[in-house]
Structure 1
């Protein structure tokens, strides 16, 4: 699964350039540096309704549009969605049809068993896009009316590389599949939600401080051992 990742120093300008979506506007507010994005935190995404795309900050952890209780009563986890199950699960079968997103990531973290955390990304250290689903939700939170976008990261079975660390991994999209993921029919999009090439990836151990969401500094991404 994937519950922690880093956008590091990515800017909206870099995210838009990565996407190759020339019609995207760039939000006026700059992004904060983020080295330990965790569920319930706000993070950048490119959201699409299959016709229009937009940059937005969204809550990590999708809130289903049909959820009508106060936000603090949302007890089930929605930060990851298994690609094999999204057309069946009530939280995801609506969004997978027309509310898909690109999630910009510099690297992500995964724990090998209950042991060492690893930072995982591209060998050439370029950022990547995860495939995701999003919603816009309005309701009550702690007695106040709120409205925000939210998202979940799609996951799939681990490729050969990731099997060294975990049995599952995020759906990482290749550049030629961005447009299909955002605008295609459901069957088309799920067809590109496959395994990212192992030869493009690397992982290196990082310190245990990444396990605490209060730790957010760039030192979290420092290697404490050799890459694999």
Structure 2
């Protein structure tokens, strides 16, 4: 699974990569985060009505058919192998794929008191895209809640000794292909993007200290 990631890239560097208008007030409130946790707001790049948009969403997908969000289960991850089969993800998989900017993510190895966090990132710390899904829940009173989850896949050679899953990473240059609503052959053509990615140019660094207390 992917239950923590980081986004420490300055907004001045990140904004051109996003390539779309920022949400109102973001430039004033944005701060680099060593840990982004489930339930927290995060940045997402999506396509809606044929236009790219940057949005703030809660991490934990709330399906649009849920009646009461208060007690609903909110998935932080969706398995790439079954995303087209699960009722909670099928609609978003077809029509609401998104990109989540990150410059590192965490996985834990071991068990019990011996659990150890690892930071996985590009060598040099450049940002990248986590592949995600998003939903818009609308209440009976017209209230709205936008949420998202991270797609996960089988581990590559770098992650296999650490964890049995890892997030889907969407390569640079394929943003539009990933976000555009599609179905049938076009949707199936996205499957290779969710396979274990090439670990060349990536590194896994063991972490310690306060990070272990937030698991």
- TM-score under structure 2 normalisation? 0.87
Confirm whether residue 27 of structure 1 aligns to residue 34 of structure 2.
no
Deviation of 1:123 after TM superposition, in Å, equals 1.2
Contact 2:116–2:212 (CA under 8 A) maintained in structure 1:
no
RMSD: 2.1
- Give the paired residue count: 205
1:198 paired residue number: 199
Contact 1:117–1:208 (CA under 8 A) maintained in structure 2:
no
Matches within 5 A, 1:129-148: 129-139=129-139, 146-148=143-145
2 CA distance for matches of 1:51 and 1:145?
24
Contact 1:43–1:57 (CA under 8 A) maintained in structure 2:
yes
Structure 1 residues 197 and 47: CA distance shift in structure 2, 3 A: same
Aligned counterpart in structure 2 of residue 108 of structure 1, from 98, 105, 110 = 105
Extract unaligned runs of 5+ from structure 1.
215-228
2:56 paired residue number: 57
Deviation of 1:199 after TM superposition, in Å, equals 1.3
Please give the per-residue CA displacement for 1:182-228, whole angstroms capped at 9, x wherever unaligned. 125321222322222111210111124224459xxxxxxxxxxxxxx
* Secondary structure of residue in 2 paired with 1:56: strand
Aligned counterpart in structure 2 of residue 163 of structure 1, from 160, 163, 179 = 160
1:86 paired residue number: 83
2 CA distance for matches of 1:195 and 1:145?
40
Please give the per-residue CA displacement for 1:19-64, whole angstroms capped at 9, x wherever unaligned. 4x4xx22334222221111111001010224722200110001110
Structure 1 residues 208 and 147: CA distance shift in structure 2, 3 A: farther
- TM-score under structure 1 normalisation? 0.82
Aligned counterpart in structure 2 of residue 72 of structure 1, from 70, 73, 78 = 70
2 CA distance for matches of 1:110 and 1:164?
11
Matches within 5 A, 1:30-41: 30=27, 31-41=30-40
Deviation of 1:145 after TM superposition, in Å, equals 7.3
Contact 1:48–1:98 (CA under 8 A) maintained in structure 2:
no
